Amino acid sequence: MSCQLQIHENISRNIYMSTCFRYTDDITEAKFRKAMAAVNITEDRNDDTSKDSFCITNGHTFVWVYVYNGLVTFETFGMQAMSGGELLYSIADELDTNCICEHDEGFFEDDEDT
């Protein structure tokens, strides 16, 4: 099962409600990938992935990772928000940082657009 199939093989993920996550510290893609490997989370490549957008999985949960200016942010779709957050929290523990979602106070405090 791939990230693409988890949503639906013929429907774009763009029609589902999403939840955004980020770490409270700036985490580079390289540092993220090292921590990801340490907690047995793998990358799932499919037609929707690119150099700056890929999917990670623990075999049951799927989270989209976005790389912007070398730093990572995350998004889950549909009912994956709760379990996707748990996947990201396990990586956060390895990185010794905190993971927050868009519903948490302070999520947008560093965003120049708000």
What is the model's pLDDT at position 52? 92
Q: Using alpha carbons only, give the angle 27, 29, 35 rounded to the nearest 5 degrees.
A: 75
Spatial contact of 52 and 66, defined as CB atoms under 8 Å apart = yes
Q: Give CA–CA dist 79/82, Å, rounded.
A: 7
> How much is the pTM?
0.76
Q: Are residues 67 and 52 in contact, defined by beta-carbon separation less than 8 angstroms?
A: yes
With 0-12 / 13-18 / 19 or more C-beta atoms within 10 angstroms meaning exposed / middle / buried, residue 87 is: buried
Is pLDDT of 98 > 50?
yes
Can you give the pLDDT at residue 61? 82
Summarised one tens digit per residue, pLDDT across range 41-55 is 989 888 888 889 999
Strand order in the sheet with 53-57: 42-44, 53-57, 62-68, 71-77, 18-23, 99-101
Q: Indicate the DSSP class of residue 25.
A: S
